[in-house]
Structure 1
C-alpha cells in the first residue's frame, strides 16, 4: 500500500522517498552472488521489490511507467533521517498499534518541525498512535485512510485528533482534492471510521438475511447490485475482490471495540466465513471464495458457493417479479421504490437489508462524522454506491419508510424523528445556487463548490438551451455552453450528430465558447454499432454513407468553429468519441481517460476523421525545416490505429498522439468541467479560428514500405488475411491514396478516402461477423 500511495504521488508529479525494513536473511540467489546483509542491494531488497512491483501490478498504479523515476527508495536503518527532507510523512506499516507507535516515535525524532505526519490505517486509533509524541508532532498529525488502489479509488478519509491544527486539516483537504484528485471526507476517530464501518455492517446484515432465506450468494448479488445503485460486484463478489480475510479483520476491529451489545452481535463474524478463511478460500487472490471459476465442457464457468453444504454449484437465475419490475424501471429512484415496497420474497429481502443499514447510518450521525454528507460521500466514493444511505432514504420516501419501520416494531433514531417534524427529506434544494441538508435541529445551507460544475443541477434550474435524446446544450454561464452527451453509453448516432451541428450554430451566434463533455461514467463508447450493422446487413449503403458523411461534417464544423471548442473527455473515449476529442480546439482530458481509435477491433477503420486528425498530430511532431523523414511518424499513426491501442491514462493518450503539448490534464474528475470552462474562457480572449490547410502525404512509396511490415506479420501468423485487408485500407488513407508522394491534399480528400474505406469494409462478411460478435460478446473476434 505504501508503494501504491507513492505511485499516485508520482502520477501527479510529486517525488517521494519510499522506506521499508531491512531483510534479516539472504535469499538463495543473493547467497550465490556472494552478497552479505551489509550490501545495499540486499538492505533495500524489500523496498525495491515493492517499487518494481508497481510496474507489474494490475490495474496499473502508475499513469505512465516513466513516473516511477519520481520514487526513490531506502530503508529504515540507513535512510530514516532523510525524512527531515520531506513535507509529508506517511506511515503505512502493519495494522498493529504497538508497531505503529514505535515507527512514529522514530519519525518524531527525525522529522522537521511543521512537516505533516499521517498514518494510513483502516481503523487503528489515531489518537492512541499520537500518545507520548511531541506537541508539534501531535499538532501536525492525522489519519489519512486511502482506499485501495489509491490511483483509482476516490475516497480519502481524513481523521484529525483533538490536537490536530485546523489549518493542517484544511491544507490537507485542499491538497488532496485539487492535486491528488480525491474525494475527501472528515471522519471521527472511531473504529473503521466511516465507509468501512457502514459498508462492513451492510455486508454482514446482508449475509445474515441471506441465511434466513432460500437465496444463495449469486441471487443475493443480483438483488444488491446495479438495481440498488451498487456496483456489479454487489455483495459477495465484492468480498472476493477485497479478500475475505481482510474483511474479517475489518469486522473484528469493530467487534473488539464496540460497547453496544446489538452492534457487537452484528459484527461477530459468522462461522461460515471463518471456516472459509481457515480453508484458504479467501477470494480472488486464492482462486476461490464465494465464487470459483472452473473449467467445464462449455469453457470456464463461474460457480457459486452453497453456504449450507460448503460445495460449489452452478449459478442460478433469480425468479422475482419485483426484481424484474425494478430492472425495467426508468430511474434509480423508481428501481429502489419498486424493490423496497414490493411484496415477493426478493423485495422483502431487500427491504430487510435496506432498513437496517439506514437505521444504523442514522444512529452514527455525530458519532463517525459530523453530518450526513460525509457519510453519503464516503459510501459513494469508497464503495461505489450511486446513492449514499441518506440519499437512498430520500429516494424511497423517509416518512413512508419510517411508518413501515414503526409497524414492524423498530426503534427510530431521534435524528430521523426530528427531521420529520421539519421536512420530508434529508436534502433540499433552495434556488439555483443554494442546497441544504438536515443537521439534526434544522437545515444547513451550502453553496455549490466553485471548483465544480453540476450539469444536473443546472438542467433542473432551466439552463438547457435545447436538446434531444442524444445530447443537450447547457448554458454554463459567462458565455460558455456545454454540449452534454447523454445517449445510451454516450453512443454517437444521428441524434448526437444533429445536436453537434445545432450547438455549433448556436454557440457561434450567442456564446463565447463551447465545451463538449458528459456527466456519465464515460465520455463516449463510439458510434452506434448496432445501427451500422443493421444498415450493412440490409445493404443500405446510401444510409451508411450519409451517416458517416454527416459525422465527418459535424467534426469539421467543431474544428473550424469561430469560437473555441474545448473537449473534456473522461473514462472510455473510444472510436467516434476519440474522433470528437480530436476535433476540438483544445483538450481538457481527465487523468483517467481510456482513449483510442478502436474500429479495427470490429473490422473497420475510423470514419469520422480520426485517421486524418491523428496523422496531422503526428506530422506536427516533425520540426519545421528538418531533414528527418516523416515516415516513422506516419508509421506511428498506423500502429496506434491498426493495433486499436487504447491509453490507460491521459498521460499515455498524449504519448499515443491524442493530446498536443498545449492540451491539459485534470486529475480531479469532478473539477473537469470547471477547468474546461476556465480553459475555454482563456482561449476566447484572443481566439483565432483555424484556417483550412493542406496536408502533405507520402504517397505510394511509403504505402509500400508500411505494407512490407503488414505482410511480414501475416506470414508470421500474427494477423489474419482480413486483418491485412483492413491494414491495406488504413495505409491507403494515411499515405494519400493515389496522390503522389510529397503532394499536398485537402482534408476533404482524406475524409473521402476514409469514408470509402469504411463503406467498403462494412460490406465485408468478416467485418459484419466481427461487429455482431462484439455486440453479443463484448469482445473482439479474430477471424
Structure 2
C-alpha cells in the first residue's frame, strides 16, 4: 500500500505534545490534540457559569496546550495561521475521532501503566492501518504494548522528538520487536522529507541514544568540575565551542532544558541499568536535588545555575556557587589552552588543542571527553546498530559539532587510547579491536566519496546517504569546481546546473562575491542549463561587509562607495535578466544583501528556517543592492486589479518591513511579509534544499525558459510619500524614533514612493536604483550613521542615536 499521513492525532497536550502538534501543523497536516478531562472546575471557569460538562472545561488542558504553543518563544509555529490546523478535544469525548487519523502519537505522562491503559483504548478505535507511536523519552517501547494484539504491535514504534520539536533536528525512531519493516521505512522517509528531521534508529534501551550519552556526559562533567575546583561559569567557558559544543555549553543548557527534566532522565537510567558502576554514574548529586526542591529549575522558574538580577549597571547574570548554593558575580577563566583552542581554525583543531593542553582547563576537558568517549564505545552495541546513528544523534539532539566517534578521530584514536591506558582506564573491546586490526580511525574518508565507518571485526561499511542530499564540500573534493576565488565558487551540481556558493566570512557580500556573480552569469549563459545560488555554511548571507563600508566612509572615499553600490546593483540586475533560470536557496540568516541576492532569482527554494529581512536601518542606512525596488515590485504584484490608490496600503507594508528592520521567523512568514512570492518553494529539511533547488532550475529550463522582460513600475509619488511622512512624524512626536531615525525613514520613503513625481507615474528599475544609491550614499556620510555602524561592529547590537 502507498501510505500517507493526511491527518494526525497527538494524545497529551503538555509542552512536548502541543509542540509536536504545532510542527505537524507547520508542514500542513491537520492535527487532533487531546488531553484528559479535568476533575474540577477552576474559580475562573465557575465565575463564567461553566461546569464539568462544559466543553471549554472538558477541553481545558488541550486548549491550554495549544495556547502555550501559540505563545512559545522561540515560536512553535512557522506562521500564526498554522495553529488553525490544530483541533483540540479530550480523550473521553473525542477518542472516536482517532479512526480518521493516519498517525497517532502518544505524549502523556511518563508512566508505564498510564500508557498501557491508553493504548488499550487507542486500539479499540484506531483505523487498522493507522501508525501508532510513543514520544516517550525512555520507557520501554516493548513493555508499553506487550498486551496489545500482534496487528497493533506491527504498526507501533517509538518516535522520540527533541524539544523544541520545530527546531531540534533529531528524531529517534525506536522499533519494537514486532514493528513492521515497511512502517519503519515509511516513517524514516516521512520524518526526513515531510517533518524535516534527521532520523536515527535507536534500540529499545533506557533513554535510547542521545539522552543516554548526553546525560552521562553531563554527570561526568559535574564530577570533573568538583575534582578540578571549577565553577559553573568556568565550566561553561570550557565546554562550549572550544569543545565543539553549543554556546550554551553545560549549565546554560541545563537551565534551558530544566533541571527537573534532567533529573527525570538521569533517574530513569539509574533505575533501569543493572551494573553498580553505571547506577552510580547516573546518581544525581545532592546539590541538584536541593536545587529541584528549591524550584531552581532554570529558565522556566527564573533561576537555576544562573540568575539574572538588576543592578545599577543594568541586568547582571549571576552564577551559582555549588558549595554555598548562593549566587555570585561570574568569573572569567584565564587559560592559555582555552585561548589557543578558540583561535584554532577548525572544530577538530580546537578540540585537539584543548584536550592536549597542560593547564587546568585542558585537564578538565580531557577528563570529561575521555569519560564520554569510553562510555559511548562501551554501550555502542547496546544502544544502536552503528556508530553513525550515535554520532548523528549527538549532533542533532545535543548540537555537538562532531559526534563521539568523529571527535575520537579528531584527537587521534591511538594517541588518546594510549593516554587513557596510562591513566588506568579500561578500553572497550570495540576500540581495542579497531586498533588491533591496524586502523587509526573509526571513519575512512576519500575525497568526493561518502565516508566509510567501522562496524567491527575489521569491517568498514559506506555511510548510506540519499542521493538527494547534495554536499557542496564533497563536490569540491571531487573536482567539480568550475572556477573560484577566495570568497565564492561556481560548482558543477550535475545535469547542467551550476551552483554559486558564497564562502566569504559569514557569507558577507564583498567585491570578490560580486566579481563571481558576473563570472557565473557569463559562464552559465554560455554553457549551462541554469544556476542555483546556495551554500552549506552557518549562514546563507549576512549582507554587506560593514567594516569595509565604514572604513571607506570614514576616509571619505565616496567614489569607491558609489562604485561598490553601483556594482552590487548591476550584478543583481545581471542575475535577474539572465537568459538561463536562476534559483536562490536561502536558509538561516538571510539578511540585507543576502535577501537582495535572492530577489533577482526566478524562483526561491527557501529552507523552512529562513530568517530573511532588510535590516540596514539598524545601522542608519537603507538597502543599497536593489532591495527597496524589489520589495516595491512585489507590493505592486500583490495589488488586485487596477493598481490605483489601493497601492498605498501595500507600499506602507513594504515601508514598515524595511523601516522596522523586520526579519521573518520562517520562510512562511517571509511569504506573508512579501519578501518571498507565493510560487517560491520551501524545503523543510535543509539537507535536501540544494537538490530541491536544482530540480526547480531544471524544471524551468526544460519547460523552455524565457528571460523576463523589464517592466515599468507604478509609484505613489509625492502624495503617497506625504501620507507615510505623517506617520513618521507621529512616531517621532510620540518618542518612538529619533531625529536620525526620521531622516533615514524619509530617505526610504523617497525611494519607495518614486521621489518627486505624480501618483501613478510609471518608472524604470534603473530610476529606482539611482534613488536608492543616492540615499544610501547620503546616509553613510552622516556621523550618526557611522556611529551606528561602529557600535554594531563593536557590540553586535544596534545603537539608537
Give the TM-score range, shorter chain: over 0.9
- Aligned partner of 2:43 in structure 1 is 28
SS of structure 2 residue aligned to 1:677 = helix
- Aligned partner of 1:283 in structure 2 is 298
1:711 matched to 2:729? The reply is yes
- Aligned partner of 1:554 in structure 2 is 571
Q: What CA distance in whole angstroms lies between the structure 1 residues aligned with 2:400 and 2:368?
A: 15
Q: What CA distance in whole angstroms lies between the structure 2 residues aligned with 1:332 and 1:81?
A: 52
Deviations 1:595-627 (A, max 9, x none): 101111111110000000010011011245466
- Aligned partner of 1:528 in structure 2 is 545
Q: Following TM superposition, by how much is the alpha carbon of 1:422 offset from its aligned partner in structure 2, in angstroms?
A: 4.3
Deviations 1:652-695 (A, max 9, x none): 10011111121111101111111111111111111111222222
Q: Following TM superposition, by how much is the alpha carbon of 1:779 offset from its aligned partner in structure 2, in angstroms?
A: 2.0
1:336–1:396 Cα contact (<8 Å) kept: yes
- Aligned partner of 2:441 in structure 1 is 425
Q: What CA distance in whole angstroms lies between the structure 1 residues aligned with 2:465 and 2:185?
A: 18
SS of structure 1 residue aligned to 2:706 = coil
- Aligned partner of 1:680 in structure 2 is 697
- Aligned partner of 1:540 in structure 2 is 557
Q: Following TM superposition, by how much is the alpha carbon of 1:343 offset from its aligned partner in structure 2, in angstroms?
A: 1.6
Deviations 1:515-560 (A, max 9, x none): 1111112211111111112222222212211111111111111111
- Aligned partner of 2:116 in structure 1 is 101
- Aligned partner of 2:12 in structure 1 is none
Q: Following TM superposition, by how much is the alpha carbon of 1:432 offset from its aligned partner in structure 2, in angstroms?
A: 3.3
Deviations 1:57-82 (A, max 9, x none): 11110001111111111111111111
Counterpart among 385, 402, 405 of residue 390 in structure 1: 405
Q: Following TM superposition, by how much is the alpha carbon of 1:119 offset from its aligned partner in structure 2, in angstroms?
A: 0.7
Deviations 1:282-312 (A, max 9, x none): 1111111111111222111111111122222
1:725 matched to 2:740? The reply is no
The more displaced of 380-389 and 43-52 is 43-52
1:700–1:740 Cα contact (<8 Å) kept: yes
Q: Following TM superposition, by how much is the alpha carbon of 1:628 offset from its aligned partner in structure 2, in angstroms?
A: 6.1
Counterpart among 306, 314, 325 of residue 310 in structure 1: 325
Q: Following TM superposition, by how much is the alpha carbon of 1:752 offset from its aligned partner in structure 2, in angstroms?
A: 0.9
Deviations 1:377-430 (A, max 9, x none): 000000000100001111111111112112222111111122121422111134
Q: What CA distance in whole angstroms lies between the structure 2 residues aligned with 1:499 and 1:219?
A: 44
- Aligned partner of 2:519 in structure 1 is 502
Q: What CA distance in whole angstroms lies between the structure 1 residues aligned with 2:685 and 2:438?
A: 36
Counterpart among 151, 165, 177 of residue 150 in structure 1: 165
How is 1:336-375 mapped onto 2 (pairs within 5 angstroms)? 336-375=351-390
Counterpart among 307, 322, 342 of residue 292 in structure 1: 307
1:649 matched to 2:666? The reply is yes
2:448–2:476 Cα contact (<8 Å) kept: no
Q: Following TM superposition, by how much is the alpha carbon of 1:739 offset from its aligned partner in structure 2, in angstroms?
A: 3.1
The more displaced of 155-164 and 488-497 is 488-497
1:754 matched to 2:760? The reply is no
1:114–1:136 Cα contact (<8 Å) kept: no
Q: What CA distance in whole angstroms lies between the structure 2 residues aligned with 1:467 and 1:232?
A: 32
- Aligned partner of 1:437 in structure 2 is 453
Q: CA 1:115–1:372 in 2, change beyond 3 Å: closer, same or farther? A: same
- Aligned partner of 2:200 in structure 1 is 185
SS of structure 2 residue aligned to 1:620 = helix
Q: What CA distance in whole angstroms lies between the structure 2 residues aligned with 1:324 and 1:177?
A: 38
Number of residue pairs the alignment of both structures matches = 783
Q: What CA distance in whole angstroms lies between the structure 1 residues aligned with 2:410 and 2:42?
A: 58
Q: Following TM superposition, by how much is the alpha carbon of 1:135 offset from its aligned partner in structure 2, in angstroms?
A: 1.3
Q: What CA distance in whole angstroms lies between the structure 1 residues aligned with 2:227 and 2:380?
A: 29
1:101–1:130 Cα contact (<8 Å) kept: yes
How is 1:68-147 mapped onto 2 (pairs within 5 angstroms)? 68-147=83-162
SS of structure 2 residue aligned to 1:659 = coil
- Structure 1 residue runs of 4 or more that deviate by more than 4 Å after TM superposition: 624-628
Counterpart among 494, 502, 509 of residue 485 in structure 1: 502
How is 1:659-678 mapped onto 2 (pairs within 5 angstroms)? 659-678=676-695
Q: Following TM superposition, by how much is the alpha carbon of 1:431 offset from its aligned partner in structure 2, in angstroms?
A: 5.9
Q: What CA distance in whole angstroms lies between the structure 2 residues aligned with 1:385 and 1:458?
A: 24
Q: Following TM superposition, by how much is the alpha carbon of 1:588 offset from its aligned partner in structure 2, in angstroms?
A: 0.2
Q: What CA distance in whole angstroms lies between the structure 2 residues aligned with 1:680 and 1:538?
A: 43
Q: Following TM superposition, by how much is the alpha carbon of 1:448 offset from its aligned partner in structure 2, in angstroms?
A: 3.5
SS of structure 2 residue aligned to 1:288 = coil
SS of structure 1 residue aligned to 2:492 = strand
- Aligned partner of 1:635 in structure 2 is 652
- Aligned partner of 2:260 in structure 1 is 245
1:40 matched to 2:55? The reply is yes
Q: Following TM superposition, by how much is the alpha carbon of 1:3 offset from its aligned partner in structure 2, in angstroms?
A: 1.1
The more displaced of 510-519 and 138-147 is 510-519
Deviations 1:134-177 (A, max 9, x none): 11111111111000111111100011111111111111111111
2:449–2:474 Cα contact (<8 Å) kept: no
Give 5+ residue unaligned stretches, structure 2. Answer: 1-15
SS of structure 2 residue aligned to 1:365 = helix
How is 1:164-179 mapped onto 2 (pairs within 5 angstroms)? 164-179=179-194
1:697–1:741 Cα contact (<8 Å) kept: yes
- Aligned partner of 2:638 in structure 1 is 621
Q: Following TM superposition, by how much is the alpha carbon of 1:709 offset from its aligned partner in structure 2, in angstroms?
A: 1.7
TM-score between the two structures when normalised by the length of structure 2: 0.96
The more displaced of 361-370 and 734-743 is 734-743
Deviations 1:263-294 (A, max 9, x none): 11111111121111122211111111111111
Q: CA 1:97–1:494 in 2, change beyond 3 Å: closer, same or farther? A: same
- Aligned partner of 2:17 in structure 1 is 2
- Aligned partner of 1:600 in structure 2 is 617
2:104–2:130 Cα contact (<8 Å) kept: yes
TM-score between the two structures when normalised by the length of structure 1: 0.98
- Aligned partner of 1:735 in structure 2 is 753
Q: Following TM superposition, by how much is the alpha carbon of 1:738 offset from its aligned partner in structure 2, in angstroms?
A: 2.2
SS of structure 1 residue aligned to 2:553 = helix
- Aligned partner of 2:4 in structure 1 is none
- Aligned partner of 1:196 in structure 2 is 211
Q: Following TM superposition, by how much is the alpha carbon of 1:214 offset from its aligned partner in structure 2, in angstroms?
A: 2.7
- Aligned partner of 2:11 in structure 1 is none
- Aligned partner of 1:327 in structure 2 is 342
Q: Following TM superposition, by how much is the alpha carbon of 1:781 offset from its aligned partner in structure 2, in angstroms?
A: 1.8
The more displaced of 181-190 and 420-429 is 420-429
1:50 matched to 2:65? The reply is yes
